[in-house]
Structure 1
Amino acid sequence: MNFATEVAKNLLQIKAIKLSPQKPFTWASGLKSPIYCDNRTLLSYPAIRDLVVEGFIEKAQAFPSFDVVAGVATAGIPHGALLADRLKLPFVYVRAKAKEHGRQNLIEGEIRAGQKVLVVEDLISTGGSSLQAVEALRAEGCTVVGVLAIFSYEFPVATESFKATNCQLETLSNYSVLTQVAIDSAYVSHEDQETLRKWRQDPALWSTQWQN
């Protein structure tokens, strides 16, 4: 079993990721989806938490050297902090928007122009929040070596967005691996495989079939 498969298997087992092609979930955006992912769940499982951190340490070697780890608020914060702790590196996190009080920080923690930063995220969907954090760090004069995440839905729009902003992306596992694990373990049926494939290609269009 390769590492991506092992991660996907564990996320399914603890229900950090749930698949339900026949009774889809409703995302905050209102879209219907056959998958729901909340990787914060794995923080409650020390063995899986350690597995993810070890995976991050290994995957981090795919990037140029860096001297700061930055988590994307909010879900990327604990995973980034765990990685920074293991690597004995400084940690900061990037808010979705600046605070409206105090120093009105967008980036929390000490960051300096010229530093090389690895951004850590829990989940890549469209890539919007991760790339927003990348741009915030670049605006401070930092060099972002790339983004490291636990899981990606592998949306084409995300692939194009990371390419357009010249930002390297690495993930521990992804949607293709997850769906194969789900089929092999009878978590979903073979008939659901095509449904899951169509959703990933065009989530908005897939969602319309569930509208009243």
Structure 2
Amino acid sequence: SPVYIDCRKIIAFPRARRLLMDFALANLVREIGVESIDCIAGGETAGIPFAAWLADRLDLPMCYVRKEPKGFGRMAQIEGDLAEGARTLLVEDLTTDGGSKVRFVEALRKAGAEVNDTFVIFHYGIFDASLDTMAELQLRLHSLTTWWDVLKVARDDKWLPSKTVQVVEDYLKNPVGWSDAHGGKKD
């Protein structure tokens, strides 16, 4: 890929993260309705701060879920207090192919949570597999933005040189082909 999204950097910028959480809350109110959320679950590790900020704003309990159970102590995969039947919103920083959602949602549901929605700051929006994964999980994906949104603003507002925009657009239109043509990883 010619580009990389690092949502973890957001935690270092208080004003930017507050603004993003304002947008996130407005998105959740509009698309889900916050009265239908009982708990916020952050996916380890990048989803945890975003989950904490949303839970704080909504005055809701928060937990976090690991990809795998801890190998010692309680062997917990979920930390925090997750009530049986809690309508739980899974929060992560981004979604590429949706793979991490599978483990998180399965763990939360196994623990008794009702998980119908997931929220991310950034959805790549270029891999059909991510939407297929969400459909298989019966999970609605909510995001603030996609690559296509970012690219449109970068082009319209001239944040990037037109040649750079074209390279990114070529990648977005055919990520596998672009990777193959540029010496990327072969599966």
- TM-score with structure 2 length normalisation? 0.88
Q: Is the CA contact (8 Å cut-off) linking 2:63 and 2:78 kept in structure 1?
A: yes
Structure 1 residue runs without a partner (length 5+): 1-32
Q: Which one of the candidate residues 109, 134, 142 is aligned to 1:138?
A: 109
**CA distance, structure 2, for counterparts of residue 177 and residue 186 of structure 1:** 14
1:3-152 correspondence runs (5 A): 33-61=1-29, 62-63=31-32, 65-152=36-123
Q: Contact 1:92/1:107 (CA < 8 Å) preserved in 2? A: yes
Question: How many residues of Structure 1 are paired with residues of Structure 2 in the alignment?
Answer: 180
Say if 2:154 and 2:165, in contact at 8 Å, map to a contact too. Answer: no
Q: Secondary structure at the match of 2:90?
A: strand
Once the two structures are superposed, residues 48-103 of structure 1 have per-residue CA deviations (whole angstroms, 9 ceiling, x without a partner) of 11111111211222125011000010000001001101111100001011111111
Give the 3-state SS of the residue equivalent to 1:101 in structure 2: coil
d(CA) in 2 for partners of 1:97 and 1:39? Answer: 22
Cα deviation for residue 193 of structure 1 reads 4.2
Moved over 6 A (4+): none
| CA separation of 1:76 and 1:127: change in aligned 2, threshold 3 A | same
Is it true that 1:162 corresponds to 2:130 in the alignment?
A: no
State, as a whole percentage, how many aligned pairs show the same letter: 34
Q: Using the TM superposition, name which of 167-176 and 137-146 deviates more.
A: 137-146
Contact 2:116 2:138 in 1 (8 A): no
**Shift of the alpha carbon at 1:34?**
1.4
Distance 2:73 2:57 in 1: 31
RMSD of Structure 2 on Structure 1 (CA): 1.7
Indicate the SS of the match to 2:120. strand
Contact 1:53 1:83 in 2 (8 A): yes
2:69 alignment partner, SS class:
coil
The 8 Å contact of residues 119 and 141 in structure 2, kept in 1 or not, is answered as yes
2:156 corresponds to 1:187:
no
User: 1:10 is matched with which residue?
Assistant: none
**What amino acid is the match of 1:119?**
L
> SS in structure 2 opposite 1:35?
coil
Would the aligned equivalents of 2:95 and 2:120 in 1 still touch at CA under 8 Å? yes
Deviation of 1:192 after TM superposition, in Å, equals 4.3
Q: Structure 2: which 5+ residue stretches go unaligned?
A: none
- Aligned CA distance change for structure 1 residues 47 and 54 (closer, same or farther; 3 Å): same
- Describe the SS at the equivalent of 2:37: coil
How far apart are 1:205 and its partner, in Å?
A: 2.9
1:70 is paired with a residue of what secondary structure?
Answer: strand
Tell me how far 1:186 sits from its aligned partner: 2.7
Structure 1 contact 156–201 (Cα < 8 Å) conserved: no
